[in-house]
Amino acid sequence: MDYYAEIAQRLPRQLRCFVDGEFVAWKDSFPKLSPVDGRELSQVTEADAATVDAAVRAARRAHNGPWRKTTPAQRAEALRRIADGILDRFDEFVAAEVADTGRPIAQARALDVARAISNFRTFADLVSTAHSECFESSGADGTQLLNYVTRKPLGVVGVISPWNLPLLLLTWKVAPALAMGNTVVAKPSEESPTSATLLADVIRDAGLPNGVFNLIHGHGPNAAGEWLTRHPEIDAITFTGESRTGSTIMKAVADGVKNVSFELGGKNAAIVFADADFDAAVEGILRSSFTNAGQVCMCTERVYVERSIFERFVSELKARTKALRVGSPYVAGNTTGPMISKGHRDKVLSYFRLAVEEGATVVTGGDVPHFGDDCDNGAFVQPTIWTGLPDTARCVTEEVFGPVCHIAPFDAEDEVVARVNNSKYGLAASVWTTHLARGHRVAQQIETGIVWVNAWYARDLRTPFGGAKLSGFGREGGRHSMDFYSEITNICVRVD
């Protein structure tokens, strides 16, 4: 048996909520099923309204207690202990991520768990070295004034994280929230609850006061997620997930005028110019379309290739896509895992059918792979490339969130920029060209929160991240996270 499969056998079989420093269970639970072979991995506590209320109130008590009085240096040290705790249990976290999602082991090691550690360490460094604004000025009457800015904790922050990058995106929010002195009630996706439970254990061992971090498991509408967003003692909500859910949360918190930060859906585009480094562009699109079986919010689903290299590009991407190996993450050499669940697989398969109905040419894929073993009980689909659809087709305008891309030719720079921007989403894009001026020029015209030139998914955690249009609201990362998770106050002092 694979090393990580053995570790997965030892993961908790009962996943409980974590409230006020203790793991608590409730009478109701639901099964977490493996997307690889369909077997039951664990039973997960379904938090009821009373458990959600207890978690929020524990967070409020902790906020009003010793945590609020900690210095930035003390909070930074706490974050470093959490990072060290994840590192000490590195392989256990990898096993949890792989078991819950079916992602390749190499990805869980190099990206998911490594980034979780970096999230805590980065915000520990940022909060311990942060500086503020200070201005000297004079009033109309000649009075000398000193204005300086302080950041105070918001209070209790509700963190709702998705299933696609469970640990990475949960810690991306928890780390800065704690760094700025807030307390947290976190709700991970019901599809990927295990690594969040391990994180609660690490945070408890790191010695944070009871109630600073709380974890509730459960579903969304009329369940833990909705009860959390509607709780009157929540001061802010940060959410990553579907645009429709973000809209629902925004309505729920509107009456309380609460701070929100949303990273939502995307229908991300890539532009490949004829002068691009051809092999680098093909490999970049392969990676950006099919990493994590296309289940990354920044994955590319729309590819625009300059007409003179279009046929060659499609042929080469087809060959490299067919070389991907779909299957169990515990089998060496497999590159591509399953959809998170059979329900999500059914959604992706509905787009496979729709694409054909809309007139697409299926270049490769478009079906369910067959293995002849337990993986046939999993949630796998084939990596799929389409051509031949108009820009108005649903498969070109709606987010699939699976291993798919549609490739279309273009003739002129202005034309392709207009086509890329003709979307209700605006999360990410990539531009592939060896012409430096064109790379800068095109990137500045694209209406998304992040644009890569000759790269994809390269991240500096100090830079802003977020989307435009239906892809989100607000920015997180570096100083932008510190601003969101703080109440910023200007203090004006008369000095004469």
pLDDT tens by residue, 278-287:
999 999 999 9
Report the interhelical angle of 278-290 vs 307-322 (nearest 10°).
50
Using the predicted structure, report yes or no on whether residue 5 has a pLDDT greater than 90: yes
Which H, E and C letters describe 459-470, residue by residue? Answer: CCCCCCECCEEC
E strand or H helix at 160: strand 156-160
Distance CA 7, CA 213 (A): 26
Query: 156-160 and 144-153 as β-strands: parallel, antiparallel, unpaired?
Result: unpaired
pLDDT category of residue 434 using cuts at 50, 70 and 90: very high
pLDDT, average across residues 237-248: 92
pLDDT category of residue 1 using cuts at 50, 70 and 90: low
Buried b (16+ CB within 10 A) or exposed e, 125-159: bbbbeeeeeeeeeeeeeeeeeeeeeebebbbbbbb
Query: pTM for this structure?
Result: 0.96
* Alpha-carbon distance values, 171 to 86, 160, 186, 371, 416 (Å): 11, 11, 10, 35, 36
Residue 221 backbone dihedrals phi, psi, to 5 degrees: -60, 135
Average predicted confidence (pLDDT) for the chain: 96
Radius of gyration over every alpha carbon of the chain, rounded to an integer in angstroms:
23
pLDDT at residue 256, rounded to an integer: 87
Kindly state the percentage of the chain with pLDDT values over 90.
94
Domains of the chain: 3-264+471-492 (3.40.605.10), 268-453 (3.40.309.10)
pLDDT at residue 159, rounded to an integer: 98
Q: Are 301 and 400 in contact (CB under 8 A)?
A: yes
Kindly state the percentage of the chain with pLDDT values over 70.
100
Sign of CA dihedral 52, 58, 59, 60: positive
E strand or H helix at 6: helix 3-9
Q: What is the pLDDT of residues 445-478, one digit of tens each?
A: 999 999 999 999 999 999 999 999 999 989 999 9
Q: How far apart, in Å, do the first and last CA atoms of the chain sit? A: 76
E strand or H helix at 174: helix 166-179
Q: What is the pLDDT of residues 178-227, one digit of tens each?
A: 999 999 999 999 999 999 999 999 999 999 999 999 999 999 999 999 99
Q: Are 112 and 103 in contact (CB under 8 A)?
A: yes
Q: Which of 253, 236, 222 is nearest to 48 (CA)?
A: 222
Distance CA 370, CA 26 (A): 39
Q: What is the DSSP string of 405-431?
A: EEEEEE--HHHHHHHHH-SSEESEEEE
- In DSSP terms, 157 is beta-bridged to 184, 236
pLDDT, average across residues 154-170: 97
Q: Which of 349, 347, 353, 355 is nearest to 368 (CA)?
A: 349
pLDDT at residue 255, rounded to an integer: 86
Distance CA 149, CA 27 (A): 48
pLDDT, average across residues 319-344: 97
Distance of CA 195 to the CA centre of its chain: 14
Q: In which residue are the tokens 């562009």 written?
A: 281
Q: Are 378 and 37 in contact (CB under 8 A)?
A: yes
DSSP state of 472: E
- Catalytically active residues are 263
pLDDT at residue 300, rounded to an integer: 98
